[in-house]
A and B are shown apart, each in its own frame.
Chain A
Amino acid sequence: LAKTTQPISMDSYEGQEVNITCSHNNIATNDYITWYQQFPSQGPRFIIQGYKTKVTNEVASLFIPADRKSSTLSLPRVSLSDTAVYYCLVGERYGGATNKLIFGTGTLLAVQP
């Protein structure tokens, strides 16, 4: 199972762009990279998923280099409500149990006024 490494915590200010990088050196050919956001006492919420290059949706961008050994979640112009834990996971596209997703401790992003 691919293991991910990401910073334990990050600080930012409102309006700034935040980039959280995740390392996954043992990513397999059929693995996708998925990011989740979790607020206290809530279940994680899907943010974005990608396989290679760049993916963008209404809330974030995901940058994946050609070797796919890392990925960077980019949050544009963060607000106080973006304070949460962000998890990077690698695994089969649907989170299939044959290659079940493993959650690490995530990155606690603290956004200051």
Chain B
Amino acid sequence: DGGITQSPKYLFRKEGQNVTLSCEQNLNHDAMYWYRQDPGQGLRLIYYSQIVNDFQKGDIAEGYSVSREKKESFPLTVTSAQKNPTAFYLCASSRLSGPTNYGYTFGSGTRLTVV
């Protein structure tokens, strides 16, 4: 089955720690994205990548970092500089060309809590 896998599903972080959220896709999608969702809010874009070894900041990139060393993987690191990291994090991927299109495919999310 093709899809996006996010891990872990739940993550607890102590103040001052960096944590890394995993996102892997086997859809052969070109682009990958990280969104943050706060309770009762829509999704806000953190970072996105169209191609390996290249990525761009989204609307709320401060305190986050990413890498795209492989097409299938787009991990997100929440650094200690992110002052309010408690949120639901969603990874997505999409094609950038081709005969079919179904918009974004999302993972099941990681809920990060600062303790």
Contact = CB atoms under 8 A, between A and B. Distances in A.
A and B are partners in one complex rather than unrelated chains: yes
Interface stretch (A17-25, A62-70, A76-84, A92-100): A92-100
Give chain B's interface secondary structure class. strand
Contact of B42 (A32, A34, A43, A87): A87
Interface residues of A, number: 25
Give chain A's interface secondary structure class. loop
Interface of A: 32, 34, 36, 41-46, 49, 87, 89, 93-98, 100-106
Interface of B: 4, 31, 33, 35, 40-45, 48-50, 56, 58, 88, 90, 92, 94-98, 101-109, 111
Contact of A97 (B31, B44, B88, B101): B31
Given A43-B108, A44-B106, A46-B104, A96 B94 contact: yes
Contact of B58 (A41, A93, A94, A100): A100
Contacts of B33: 95, 97, 100
Contact of A44 (B96, B98, B104): B104
